[in-house]
Chain A
């Protein structure tokens, strides 16, 4: 058996483990093992590549691997849980860029450095030439798109949609232009200088396209965008596999491309949106214009001491966490309050909206960090019938996901989005910094309801205030 055969068998084992790992990642019980298995699969793929390409000179390889591992590990360890979505966006961006760079490297090695005079297709084969420019385009779109998503999520640029007039036409032209230039480069261009300019032009056009595709999309939709870009980077890897004729790249890339697409679809369904609507809609562009907007009337607010008095007598409490909880890092404070309420005899649960926070599952991750028992986290469909029998709902930094307008107001931009129906509860406390609107930019009717009390302030401080008030008024609890 030749080294090539050994390498192919290692790749096969790697591909099998990727399938098993990805499958296990979809179930809570097996997810961590699944991640580990996928990691082992990746290690096998690297070993397979070292065998297949007979790599005995390690200088460049070592530099790349060591630098990459150090940066990756450092970033992964340091990032706070609240900034996970941004981190995934950046990791995804560099992965896409890597595929694009591999394609450029092959282009340089096979065409420029060999001073090829004929067409690319003639010297490296039509399939390799086509996948080469495709890999460059998809890789670059993934890179710049992810960077814009990162900037939006981290607040370094505005999260609201930035709409450039005629953007659909510009984007279509960029896409057609880069594809056209790619085809010309692969099959017709014969002068080396011209081919190089085309390669760089295609890269630049794709990079610009990535920026323009993501910039009109609102911050609330970034998770969907990241998931979609994740799918792209899989496709880019798959295209790279065609360039260098490597099956494990084709397999894993295609699998992630497809899985990412399905996951994107699942996320869209959770928001009651179509993918086309997310990508082309410029959600939030109507701002406060759509639906009922304007000033709030009849808003009742109270301080922590009044709220604590009501909580003291509550026998069932549901906490609704939102992005404000993540910003204020209030998860530990919430846990403390919940413990106190339980000691006081109340049943405490958490209602998790599928898209609460900046990423599906964001709230679960945060609350898990504060050791909130997994059984207390209840999903939307299960908890909605329960609100009517609930004494107190505490909404912490959530907004659009509890807006009853989505059920009743057909004019509202969020009409039809499934929400947590907290307004059925006896009393609703909304802890918020002010009456500002959520991502959707619409007024929240919940705030005007008679059974709603606003508690203004930073989520963490308010929760801590509630905890200390409760301790004071119920002496037995403090111990």
Chain B
């Protein structure tokens, strides 16, 4: 039970961090923040690496490989799109 309990601890505390970090956000940043948070949710890439780690062409590995490709799209695309949005604010900063 130890492992599960630690997991729950981590889950609850991280959720609190997530709640606390986002309190006031200027409307300007709603879209970029959503996009950035979306890129972070691509963290499932770690799970996909786990699932695709074997060499044999088994169904489980192929599923993992597809998951990995999808998670990577989420991560790479997500961060790049967010950066594109924010770059436009950056160039015109005072």
Contacts from A to B (Cβ < 8 Å): 15, 18-19, 21-23, 25-29, 31-32, 34-36, 38-39, 41-42, 45-46, 48-50, 53, 55, 57, 59-61, 63-65, 67-69, 71-73, 75-77, 79, 81, 84-85, 87-88, 91-92, 94-99, 101-102, 104-106, 108-109, 112-113, 127, 223, 226-227, 230, 233-234, 236-238, 240-263, 266-267, 270, 352, 354, 359-362, 364-365, 368-369, 371-375, 377, 379
Contact = CB atoms under 8 A, between A and B. Distances in A.
Interface size class of B (residues with CB under 8 A): 35 or more
Interface string B9-44: 011101111110111111111111111111111111
Interface of chain A: mostly helix, strand, loop or mixed: helix
A417 B74 CA distance: 34
A63 B39 contact: no
B47 A91 contact: no
B62 to A, nearest CB: 8
B49 A38 contact: no
Contacts of B93: 28-29, 374
20 contacts: A22-B18, A31-B32, A31-B36, A32-B87, A35-B86, A45-B46, A53-B53, A60-B62, A60-B65, A71-B77, A88-B81, A94-B74, A95-B71, A98-B67, A101-B64, A109-B58, A230-B41, A241-B47, A251-B10, A361-B27
A105 B61 contact: yes
B74 A98 contact: yes
Given A95-B41, A371-B92, A36 B83 contact: yes
A259 B39 CA distance: 13
Contacts of A75: 73, 77
B32 A361 contact: yes
Contacts of B77: 71-73, 75-76, 87, 91
A377 B27 CA distance: 11
Contacts of B43: 18, 42, 45, 237, 248-249, 252-253, 256
A26 to B, nearest CB: 5
A360 B32 CA distance: 9
Contacts of B84: 76-77, 81
Nearest to A146: B38
A260 B4 CA distance: 24
A34, A237, A257 — most chain B CB neighbours (10 Å): A237
B36 to A, nearest CB: 5
A243 B80 CA distance: 29
A14 to B, nearest CB: 9
Contact of B67 (A102, A109, A226, A354): A102
A104 B69 CA distance: 15
Contact of A354 (B27, B34, B35): B27
B3 A105 contact: no
A28 B89 contact: yes
B15 A71 contact: no
A65 B7 contact: no
Given A75-B73, A102-B50, A255 B60 contact: no
B11 A238 contact: yes
B46 A248 contact: yes
In the complex, the 9 A-B pairs of residues with the closest C-beta atoms, listed nearest first: A68-B72, A258-B18, A64-B68, A72-B77, A360-B30, A109-B60, A72-B76, A95-B74, A76-B80
A378 to B, nearest CB: 11
A263 B28 CA distance: 13
Given A65-B68, A257-B15, A88 B34 contact: yes
A93 B42 CA distance: 10
B81 A230 contact: no
B50 A374 contact: no
Contacts of B71: 68, 94-95, 98
Contacts of B64: 60, 64, 101-102, 105
B61 A60 contact: yes
